[in-house]
Amino acid sequence: MAFDKDAFLTALDSMTVLELNDLVKAIEEKFGVSAASMAAPAAGGAAGGAAAAAEEKTEFNVVLTDAGAQKVGVIKAVREITGLGLKEAKDLVDGAPKNVKEGISKADAEAAVKKLVEAGAKAEMR
C-alpha cells in the first residue's frame, strides 16, 4: 500500500484541535520525539536568518518613543511626515511609543527622525 499524502492532508484538515493534539501525542510516543524539541532548532535557525537579514536591511521603521514637551510641534511634524489628519496625528503622538512610518528607505527614515527630534520628540529608526 502506497502512502497517499493528499488523503492524509485531507484527513488532517477535517480533524478538530483535540484530535490533532492526540495525534501529535501519539506520534511523540511512537517515535520517541518531542514536537517542542523539534521547534527549538527551527526557531534558532530562523533567528540566525533574521540576524543576517538585519545586517542588510533596506527597509526601516521610524518610531516615536516620546512626544517630549513640545507636543504641538511634534504633532505638526507627524502630520508632515505621514499626511495624517490632526486627530490621527494627535492620537499617534499621545500613544507614544508608536511607529510613525514603516518600511521606508534609510534616507527617508533618517530625515523623518531628524524632523521629529527637531520638533522636540524622541524618535529612533529601527
Q: Which pTM was predicted?
A: 0.53
pLDDT tens digits along 24-70: 888 888 888 876 666 555 555 555 555 555 456 778 888 888 888 88
Crossing angle of helices 71-82 and 86-94, in 10° steps, is 120
**Over 31-91, what HEC string results?**
HCCCHHHHHHHHHHHHHHHHHHHHHCCCCEEEEEEECCCCHHHHHHHHHHHHCCCHHHHHH
- For residues 66 and 97, the answer to whether their CB atoms sit within 8 Å is yes
